[in-house]
Amino acid sequence: MTVETDEPGRAASDGRIRRGDRTRREVLRVAVDIASVEGLDGLSIGRLATELGLSKSGLIGHFGSKEELQLATIRAARAIFARSVIEPALEQPPGLAQVRALIDAWLTYSSDRRFPGGCFFARASHEYAARPGAVRDALAVVDQEWLGLLEESVRAAQAVGEIAPDADAAQLTYELDAYLDSANLRSLLGRPGVYEQAARAVRERLDAAAGVPSVQQSS
């Protein structure tokens, strides 16, 4: 028995799916840039439709609501962050090299303005931290993923003897992340040299955690 297939119909359907995927990617490319500068509240179906020359009804078909658009934008930004920071750093072996690679990649991600408004998640988290709901929950998950990965790398460095075993890994992670957040914010306010200052602070803090004497101590 032969089974007949509607090849032209399938090809047309596949073409619509591909066009829909391209449209969605283009919308999210613009959305992450807008949100990094103006916040997630700066996003709207109407605005994106106007900027991209698309119909509002078409975009509603892709996202349904403003909240769904915001959540999709967070997912898109997370993927960009992973490609820019996490994936390159994890090419380094577990230990201090990986911790430093994560920090260096994050500073580059912020200073090179992978998003025009600096760190996407710093901007969005400041906007939604006190606003319970699905958007804040999604941002909290990304934040915990980042802090969890950084702390895991610190603990791996302890396991191979490159950070003192009695160092408080959670506290060290908190301090390293604070240096990054401070550099990102102050760079947006126009303060010069903040990334260099952050890099130096990180280096000195990691050296202290590893038991390396400071310049003052060794002189």
Instruction: Give residue-wise pLDDT tens across range 73-113.
Output: 999 999 999 999 999 999 999 999 999 999 999 999 999 99
When pLDDT is averaged across residues 132-144 and rounded to a whole number, the result is 98
Phi, psi of 104 (to 5 degrees): -60, -40
- Please state, in angstroms and rounded to a whole number, the distance separating the CA atoms of residues 111 and 13: 43
Give me the percent of the chain exceeding a pLDDT of 70: 88
* Residue ranges of domains in the chain: 67-210
In sequence order, the 6+-apart residues with CB closer than 8 A to the CB of 197 are 183
Residue 56: band (very low, low, confident or very high) from pLDDT cuts 50, 70, 90: confident
In sequence order, the 6+-apart residues with CB closer than 8 A to the CB of 130 are none
Residue 16: band (very low, low, confident or very high) from pLDDT cuts 50, 70, 90: low
**pLDDT above 80: residue 14:** no
Of the two residues 219 and 109, the one the predictor is more confident about is 109
Residue 5: band (very low, low, confident or very high) from pLDDT cuts 50, 70, 90: low
**What is the DSSP track for 91-158?**
TSPTTHHHHHHHHHHHHHHHHTTSSTTS-HHHHHHHHHTTS-SHHHHHHHHHHHHHHHHHHHHHHHHH
| pLDDT for position 213 | 66
Chain CA centroid to CA 105, Å? 11
In sequence order, the 6+-apart residues with CB closer than 8 A to the CB of 38 are 117
When pLDDT is averaged across residues 186-203 and rounded to a whole number, the result is 98
Mean pLDDT in the chain?
Answer: 90
- Please state, in angstroms and rounded to a whole number, the distance separating the CA atoms of residues 23 and 38: 22
Look-up: residue for tokens 């950070």?
163
The closest alpha carbon to 52, from 67, 37, 39, 33, belongs to 33
Of the two residues 200 and 54, the one the predictor is more confident about is 200
**pLDDT above 80: residue 11:** no
When pLDDT is averaged across residues 137-153 and rounded to a whole number, the result is 98
| pLDDT for position 4 | 52
| pLDDT for position 218 | 46
Residue 17: band (very low, low, confident or very high) from pLDDT cuts 50, 70, 90: low
Residue 6: band (very low, low, confident or very high) from pLDDT cuts 50, 70, 90: low
Say how many C-beta atoms besides its own lie within 10 A of residue 181's C-beta. Answer: 17
Q: What is the CATH number of domain 67-210?
A: 1.10.357.10
